[in-house]
Structure 1
Amino acid sequence: MQFDRFLNKAVSRLSGGSDADDPRPVPRGAPADDLRGSGSWANEWGAAKGAIERAKSLAAGGKAPKRRSGVVAQNIPEGTVRTKPLMTTRDIKLHSWLQDRLEAEAPTCTIHAGVALNAFLVSAEANEEYDPLCNLTVDLLIADDQGQPLVALIHENRVDSHKQLLMLDALLDADMPIIDIQPRPVLSAMWAEIAANLPED
């Protein structure tokens, strides 16, 4: 099963690799627990194992998520998921610059990258089958020390203009200040727009 495969992989990762990968012979008669000292394995893995078991229990009694086509998704085929950069090199530089500026002039505020709209907006139209905010993401979000969103920074989405319009519509409906990230932004002008929406204290 998928969870068993994940559990085995996670245990192998946390313990430094599988037995097959370890060239060192394990002394006969030595308990497996003795390979990790002072119960560290149990402390390190206990929370993750508990989370997996809870998810497994919920999956057994709950409804399987549906794909866009309406076909029930039973699992994720092994080897089909990979990582990708959260930001481009240029966006990383912009993020770092804004973070430094916030630390100097608004230290109670934080900046976040790639934030889903339904993480900081709530739609009255959302229900179990449909959420109009689903799959909509802002490039950067500035929040105060209470987690309250203050400013959304977004790039122009030339690939999917419809999604761009939906996102703008949602942000405007929530009275969320929006700052457009230009291909070559003028940092002083961008900061002036951001500063106008930050707490004065």
Structure 2
Amino acid sequence: MQIDQTIVRQAARLAPRLLARHLRAGPAEAPAAPKAAARDGLRGSGSWANEWTGGDSAPAVRARPLMTEREVRLHNWIADRLEVETPTATLHAGVALAAFLHSDAPGALDGLVADMVIVDEAGRPVAALLRERRADPATRGRITAALAAAGVAHVDLPDRLSLSRLWAEIADTLDHLADADAVAAA
């Protein structure tokens, strides 16, 4: 509150001087257009920061792929099979466990990501597909423990995988889901 009053007093003290200076100077020149607006006329979020710091000093940003080429082919193959076998299920890639699990312990799910998740028509996760994490086996253990505690099945994606064996595991998981839904409906 005291800071606001100080600012108002300073503005009231300086306002007559600034007005007099402006009236003596005559019409001012048009302000120069900012660099970002002059280039293409489009302004995104954060463009104001580049005007103040200079666009040349902004860090260089490169996009990196979300999945490797092998993972994209696998994702597309599984999505095609799901569409034929279970048209109500969808496949999602790179899903944070915090998006569909809840933990009372703060930070328990931070940094835990399933490589792919199969979701049923109600939006419930049916199965998580996980690849090996040789560099960080502790994270893999935390992921599988969290999925097991929530009752979400997981399917391993080994480095050398057999597509027929992988689909058999996925189909088995989906069959268990269909059996559970039939029991719940009865």
Give the TM bin, normalised by the shorter chain. 0.5 to 0.7
**Pick from 158, 162, 175: which aligns with 1:182?**
158
**Matches of 2:140 and 2:159, distance apart in 1:** 16
Match for residue 154 of structure 1? 130
Flag structure 2 segments of 5+ consecutive residues without an equivalent: 1-33, 47-56
SS for the counterpart of 2:38 is: coil
> What is the RMSD of the two structures over their aligned residues, measured on CA atoms?
2.9
Match for residue 133 of structure 1? 109
Provide TM-score, normalisation by structure 1.
0.59
Q: How many Å apart are 1:20 and its aligned residue?
A: 2.5
Flag structure 1 segments of 5+ consecutive residues without an equivalent: 1-11, 23-34, 36-40, 53-76
Match for residue 38 of structure 2? 20
Structure with bigger gyration radius: 2
**Matches of 1:190 and 1:175, distance apart in 2:** 20
Supply the AA of the counterpart residue of 2:124.
Q
Indicate whether 1:171 and 2:151 are aligned.
no
Higher helix share: 2
Provide TM-score, normalisation by structure 2.
0.63
SS for the counterpart of 1:150 is: strand
**Matches of 1:80 and 1:157, distance apart in 2:** 30
Paired residue total: 134
Q: How many Å apart are 1:173 and its aligned residue?
A: 1.4
Q: How many Å apart are 1:79 and its aligned residue?
A: 1.9
Match for residue 103 of structure 2? 123
**Pick from 84, 105, 111: which aligns with 2:64?**
84
Identity of aligned residues (%): 41
Supply the AA of the counterpart residue of 1:166.
R
Deviations 1:18-42 (A, max 9, x none): 54325xxxxxxxxxxxx9xxxxx9x
Going from structure 1 to structure 2, the CA distance change for 1:175 and 1:87 (only over 3 Å counts) comes to: same
Match for residue 68 of structure 1? none
